[in-house]
Structure 1
């Protein structure tokens, strides 16, 4: 049970974070890889059964293992938990917070308002980015900056995935274009606020704050009404992804 399984999972299912990890400082990569692999698992758990109770049982399994690790108990051999324990130790207990907001996903509850989406993103993407940033040298004084960046990056990712979320009743109901524009504006404002305060973060934290490729373009297209995120969003090409990551690697600039 090594980091290779976690790395391969990221490469296949979360290519933007996979790429960001590659440009992280070597000492930070094990913690980031295992954190992001865990995030994939808890995000997928609610979809492993169409029955809400069974889905929540699968999610609870992860919560229980993480809480055991927090009490100092090593996990059973596992592709994700074993390297996670090696990288995080008893601190892994605090990662159970990543699973709690996913309980609503087990119930297939759509969101009724943009504010409800924003709260969910704060509890999921926001927590994840803060945990990653802390392991990459961010101090408590930078928490506000990370929160702004997480709001922008998290809402953009949610909007990009909206067609798939609508299909499983985890999007917005009713599906109002004006609500999507509100979310895009909130995301843009979050990214702008984070950019203004970027000096509070060390360059080492760049990998943890990377928002993904072509985020400002996506948000501007939604706000201008050129893209309806309920129907489809523009796909990211391999070239665009590589170019964005090359910029991150060369400059360390995670802000836009």
Structure 2
């Protein structure tokens, strides 16, 4: 295959960015332990977002490290609420990341002025080299801050808007890292983000009682005559399963739409987490949409193999 002038230019740009990022990774402002900050980011993703961690490991070497940093940043924001039951402390921790992101994008900012947090410093390096637009990273913070204040979704449309801001935004950022600027890829990212976000919401319902959060949209609860108390007490019922069915159906529709879109080959590896989304929705269907079924909590032993097989086929 002959490289066109455009392809050669893109390849050269990616090579230079990878070299710049590698050089920045060797810089630090604080004493380091045996593992560098990228390994720290990788361990955070592995511990709290294992399925996405597996998918990220199968990305090309040039994209793997910056992608893990973006996912680590997302994990840090997402788990703010898990680290405390005090709303004020949670908001303070979220404000830290709000201020950190603001600092990262200051003109003529240097690594020494970024907070001595491994994820924050690695994020600064990635943003500096790849010139990542701030808007998508900002969406990750803003969407979760709004949810922390509202504590519920009024409708399925509201929930889908949240998933677009909190999940699709990650895929938009990954595409930017890979230099994929393509409307079809963005369209697929939007659908996949919504599918994954809806699936994640269904998964989190059994844990909602711990944080006094009801993630099932209010319009569905009213439609199927399910109370918030029923959700918080993890009461399985036919009506509750009908709520889950509607959300799962929406997730499956978004997943199908994403997979039907023809995207650049490089985007396929970015969208590999679609495999895990499909896997969960199939398990939920086998459980007759009982989101409280304990089998849904168990990990899939075959998922890594499916990931690998799909990566070989360059599909998602």
Scaled by the length of structure 2, the TM-score of the pair is: 0.72
Summarize the alignment of residues 1-256 of structure 1 with structure 2, pairs less than 5 Å apart. Answer: 1-72=36-107, 73=109, 74=111, 75-89=114-128, 91=132, 93-94=134-135, 95-107=137-149, 109-142=151-184, 143-170=186-213, 171-172=215-216, 174=227, 175=231, 176-197=240-261, 199=262, 201-211=263-273, 213-220=275-282, 222=284, 226-230=288-292, 232=294, 234-237=296-299, 239-254=301-316
Map Cα deviations across residues 117-155 of structure 1 (whole Å, 9 max, x no partner): 222111101211221122224324122121112111221
Answer with 234-243 or 141-150: which moved more: 234-243
Report if aligned partners of 1:68, 1:93 keep a CA contact under 8 Å in 2.
no
Which residue of the partner structure matches residue 18 of structure 2? none
Structure-2 separation of matches of 1:138 and 1:154 = 22
Q: Which runs of 5+ in 2 are unaligned?
A: 1-35, 219-226, 232-239
CA-based RMSD? 2.4
Answer with 155-164 or 85-94: which moved more: 85-94
Answer with 235-244 or 57-66: which moved more: 235-244
Q: Which runs of 5+ in 1 are unaligned?
A: none
Measure how far apart 1:217 and its partner are: 4.8
Greater RCO, CA 8 A, separation 6+: 1
Measure how far apart 1:158 and its partner are: 2.0
Structure-2 separation of matches of 1:14 and 1:212 = 14
Corresponding residue SS for 2:163 = helix
Equivalenced residue count is: 252
Structure-2 separation of matches of 1:80 and 1:248 = 30
